[in-house]
Amino acid sequence: MGASVGRGYSPPPSCSPRAARVYTASDVHRFTSDSSAPWFDPLYEAADRQAAAVPWANLRPCGWVADYASAHPGPGTAAIVGCGLGDDAEVIAAAGYSTTAFDVSRHAVEWCRERFPESRVDYRVGDLLDLEDDLVGRFDLAVEVRTIQSLPPQLRNEAIDAVASLVVPGGVVLMVALARTDATVPNGPPWAVSAGELKRFADSEVTVTEDRSESGHFVLELSRSIGQE
Ligand SMILES: C[S@@+](CC[C@H](N)C(=O)[O-])C[C@H]1O[C@@H](n2cnc3c(N)ncnc32)[C@H](O)[C@@H]1O
Look at ligand 1, atom 12, and give the residue with the nearest C-alpha.
82
What digits encode the pLDDT tens for the residues 189-217? 889 999 999 999 999 999 999 999 998 99
Find the mean pLDDT for residues 166-187. 95
CATH number of the structural domain 13-224: 3.40.50.150
For residue 103, report the distance from its CA to the centre of ligand 1, in Å: 6
> H-helix or E-strand containing 125?
strand 122-125
Q: CA of 50: how far to CAs of 2, 44, 55, 84, 119, in Å?
A: 36, 9, 11, 13, 21
What digits encode the pLDDT tens for the residues 28-78? 555 444 444 568 998 999 999 999 999 999 999 999 999 999 999 999 999
Q: CA of 138: how far to CAs of 62, 97, 100, 120, 188, in Å?
A: 23, 13, 10, 18, 32
Ligand 1 closest atom vs CA 44: 25
107: confidence class by pLDDT, cuts 50, 70, 90: very high
The residue type found at 99 is T
| Among 6, 52, 67, 3, CA closest to 190 | 6
- pTM of the shown model: 0.90
Ligand 1 within 6 A of CB of 151: yes
The residue type found at 47 is A
DSSP 15: G
Q: CA of 102: how far to CAs of 48, 135, 199, in Å?
A: 19, 10, 25
Residue 108 has pLDDT above 90, yes or no: yes
Beta-bridged to residue 97, according to DSSP, are 76
Contacts of 211 (CB under 8 A, 6+ apart): 1, 2, 219, 220, 221
Ligand 1 within 6 A of CB of 107: no
